[in-house]
Chain A
Amino acid sequence: MTDINHNFHWELELDDGTILSQKNKDDWTKYDPKKVIRASVIPWLNDPFNIRKRHDVLTFPKNAFVRRFARGFKKSDNLNQLHEYYHCIVTEQFKFYVFSNGNTLVAHPDSDLYL
């Protein structure tokens, strides 16, 4: 069974044109958050109805990229499934969340979201 952590993947574009992605993890040695100009959360291709949309966060001088991560939640009543798995892009000005169902949330950069 495909779990919800396969609904989206991430991609980062550096200022020299390098693309770092979940599908190209060997390039991770080139990762430098100061060089990130675009951070994206992209549906995997297994979404035949195209329900989930791509989201791009572009950085600019007063809103620099800080980091990205995904957060998984497992609950003890059914530990073989992820309850939620969201992606989060952190910039100086905000956190941008993309939930596994495609919903999004913009929050303060100091916020921390445990579900």
Chain B
Amino acid sequence: MPADVQIHELTGSSSGVDKSGGTVRFKSADETTVNTENRMTIPPSGVNYSYTKQNQFYFNTAPDVDIQNLRAYSDGGDGWGAEFTFQFDVLAAFSSNVNSDIAGTDIFTKDSNSPIDLDSNNTGPHTGTGYKGDILRTQLAVTSSATQGQLAAETITFAYDET
């Protein structure tokens, strides 16, 4: 049978929250709940950074043979405007979430033609169950020229090849 593959939001090393049916919300606190608490604020000057989010593939059941080519990408269209930066980097292991600038790459430069490689450090083929591949760490930055309110969701696609 095909593997049951999930995407988790990490809360520690090899531990996290199954985001099935849920979304990831950038906040001013290090927590995974999707609500309107701990909202980011628009700074009077400079830039405010959200706490980072770390997402990783989780195999709830094992593949018949193996899984490799773990990838992630955006739609390539920045729907949030220049007042916001949605940046990412790739980690080999969990690192405590921070609300300081990770100096990452604009995720909207990574679309289906140039997806993010999520098994460049923890290389495949991946077998068995549990957390697999690299960690996609993301962060939202808000500048002083932003307008208040809730942003429309942006979609990140996670893809994998199953043998």
Contact = CB atoms under 8 A, between A and B. Distances in A.
Interface of A: 3, 5-6, 22, 25, 28, 68-80, 83, 85, 114-115
What's the dominant secondary structure at chain B's contact region? loop
Nearest to A70: B162
Contacts of A71: 69, 159-162
Residue in A3, A25, A75, A85 whose Cβ sees the most chain B Cβ within 10 Å: A75
Given A76-B156, A83-B157, A69 B162 contact: yes
B5 A6 contact: no
Contacts of A28: 64-65
Chain B's interface size range is 20 to 34
B157 A79 contact: no
Contacts, number: 76
B39 interface: no
A73 B157 contact: yes
Interface in B24-70: 24, 64-65, 69
Contacts of A115: 112, 157
A79 B8 CA distance: 9
Contacts of A114: 71, 73, 112-113, 115, 157, 159
Interface string B63-90: 0110001010100000000000000000
